[in-house]
């Protein structure tokens, strides 16, 4: 059984946090929603709102101060950091060999992950010819491809 932990890192927007959470909670492949480095309105009103949603959908969430905390706690076989700023394109077929994945998206458009955070995992982009289209859109594309991989349709 594959375990997919879907992460959102460095989030300050309440609406972006809600949209990302709804996506994660409505897909059967996501075992946990992992939120790290929360600030601004996302911390003040977003976390309480997604806590209610998590309860409603009977889905677990994990809120931690730093990305490294999530990696240390979950101990994934691979951590994938998704940013359209990366030079390296993701290889979906390689992901099939891992049974425990942490896939993290940046909550702040344009900036991606800093150098220290990039060193914590496999820093990749999902789309070849697209600029930063936001965490929710990138996660949707990733989850579509991931579901095809899990179901053997790739």
Q: What is the CATH number of the domain that holds 142?
A: 3.40.1280.10
pLDDT digits (tens, 9 = 90+) for 92-144: 989 989 999 999 999 987 767 999 999 999 999 998 887 778 899 999 999 99
Q: Number of folded domains in the chain?
A: 1
Q: Which residue has the tokens 């425990």?
A: 100
How high does pLDDT run on average in the chain?
93
Instruction: State how far the Cα of 19 lies from the Cα of 15, in Å rounded to an integer.
Output: 6
Please tell me the pTM assigned to this model.
0.94
Burial letters 88-102, b for 16+ CB under 10 A, else e: eebeeeebeeeeebb
10 Å Cβ neighbour count for 67? 24
For residue 76, what are the domain limits?
3-150
Q: Is residue 42 a contact partner of residue 11, using CB atoms and an 8 Å limit?
A: yes
Strand pairing partners for 102? 5, 79
pLDDT digits (tens, 9 = 90+) for 80-92: 999 998 999 999 9
Tell me what pLDDT residue 132 has: 74
pLDDT beyond 70 at 1: no
């Amino acid at each position: 059984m594959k375990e997919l932990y879907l992460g959102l890192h460095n989030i300050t927007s309440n609406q972006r946090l809600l949209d990302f959470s709804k996506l994660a909670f409505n897909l059967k492949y996501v075992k946990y929603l992992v939120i790290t480095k929360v600030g601004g309105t996302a911390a003040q009103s977003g976390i309480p709102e997604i806590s209610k949603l998590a309860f409603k959908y009977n889905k677990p969430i994990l809120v931690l101060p730093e990305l490294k905390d999530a990696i240390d706690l979950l101990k994934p076989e691979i951590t994938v950091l998704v940013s359209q700023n990366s030079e390296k394109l993701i290889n979906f077929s390689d992901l099939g060999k891992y049974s425990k994945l942490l896939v993290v998206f940046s909550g702040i458009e344009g900036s991606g992950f800093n150098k220290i955070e990039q060193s914590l995992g496999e820093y990749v982009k999902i789309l070849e010819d697209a600029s930063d289209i936001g965490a929710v859109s990138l996660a949707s594309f990733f989850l579509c491809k991931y579901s095809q991989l899990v179901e053997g349709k790739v």
